[in-house]
Amino acid sequence: MKVLLVGKRGSIVLWLENMAAAFREAGHETRMFAINGFTPWDYLQVKLVKQFRKPALDTLLARQFEQALRSFRPDLMLVVGAFGIPLAIYQTLASANPKPWVIGLVGDKFSTGERAKAEFIDQFYFSDTFFIDLATQAGFPSALDYLPLAVNPRQFYPRPGTRINEILFIANHTPYREELVRSIQTPVTIYGHSDWRILKKDSPHRVRAQRISYRNVARKYATYRAVLNILNERNVSYGLNQRSFEPLACRTIVINDYLRDLERCFEPQREILAYRDRDELNELCAKINHNASFGQTVATAGYRRVLAEHTYAHRVSRICQDMNL
């Protein structure tokens, strides 16, 4: 099968690139169309047009996309981050011959006003079941289903060496995250947006207000004893983010919010530690801090579950199965 993946190259979790690699490894002929370009010149061109002639950017991308469609003639078009793609690209599909089957992956909250884009998508997969309710209320005509995020085990895997006996949190700053982290009495090492510096003044936490690369994130997940996960209230409601999967692929303990979708992916307290409130979060952090063996069997069970069910290869297999391939 010929698969054209459309999305943004170089995102924080490399969603586009990881899905493309999984399709290639499954034996499909695969190409990517990145709305922000592939080369430094592409990126600069898109940035300049966006800055000085934003309406012209959609026209430019639509023209480039039309050329990609004509030259590749894909059987499947997989749109990664479906609502981050300009409407003009979708409108190009109206004249495509043959028209590929179009699948949209959605991992962030969206407006019900996105129906115009939804009209061009045959099948949606949402990483948060709340989004299915939202799409249903908006009257999206497409098939709607749940498909959680995943992990690339070539990037995230256990590494030899002694673990740092600390809890790690790598994330962008949000008001809810700050509020919850402030309630934690056990010291946590935090990497992320400069706004985290506010915790340096009056908290026990170790703040490294800096962005780190995807590869470095993988190394740190495999180096620390435990990873904290707190939802980003701006873009999810019930769904799991990458921190629910990637540290477990490194056989590292994950302390996760007890979200509605959690039990769809893991067995809480056996494969992943989960908290419902601040008291439970503090209790888990304290146990990890004071008991060197606490949580290790959970991390091992979670590691096995991730490799058995939650890699990008599993997501590609599910999509192909749904397409009766």
Give the pLDDT of the chain (325 residues) as one tens digit per residue: 999 999 999 888 899 999 999 999 999 999 999 998 766 555 565 565 555 556 677 888 899 999 999 999 999 999 999 999 999 999 999 888 899 999 999 999 999 889 999 999 999 999 999 999 999 999 999 999 999 999 999 999 999 999 999 999 999 999 999 999 999 999 999 999 899 999 988 899 999 989 899 999 999 999 999 999 999 999 999 999 999 999 999 999 999 999 999 999 999 999 999 999 999 999 999 999 999 899 999 999 999 999 999 999 999 999 999 998 7
What's the CA gap between 323 and 318, in Å, rounded? 9
Report the alpha-carbon distance of residue 128 to residue 261 in Å, rounded.
Answer: 7
pLDDT of res. 59: 83
40-78 exposure pattern, b = at least 16 Cβ within 10 A, e = fewer: eeeeeebeebeeeeeeebbebbbebbbebbeebebbbbb
CATH fold for domain 164-309: Rossmann fold (3.40.50)
In degrees rounded to 5, what are phi and psi of residue 253?
A: -60, 135
DSSP 105-174: EE-S---GGGHHHHTT-SEEEESSHHHHHHHHHTT--SEEEE----B-TTTS---SSPPEEEEEEEE---
Residues 241, 229: Cα–Cα separation, whole Å: 8
> Residues 69, 96: contact at Cβ < 8 Å?
yes
Q: pLDDT value at position 40?
A: 57
The confidence score (pLDDT) of residue 41 equals: 55
pTM of the model: 0.93
Q: What pLDDT does 60 receive?
A: 83
Q: What is the pLDDT of residue 206?
A: 96
Question: What is the distance, to the nearest Å, from the Cα of residue 128 to the centroid of all Cα atoms in its chain?
Answer: 11
Portions of the chain given CATH number 3.40.50.2000 = 164-309
Q: Give CATH 3.40.50.11930 domain extents, the chain.
A: 2-148+312-322
Q: Which amino acid is at 266?
A: F
- For residues 275 and 162, give the distance between their C-alpha atoms in angstroms, rounded to a whole number: 27
Order of strands across the sheet that contains 143-146: 29-34, 2-7, 76-80, 101-106, 123-126, 143-146
Q: Domain 2-148+312-322, what fold?
A: Rossmann fold (3.40.50)
- Supply the pLDDT for residue 325: 75
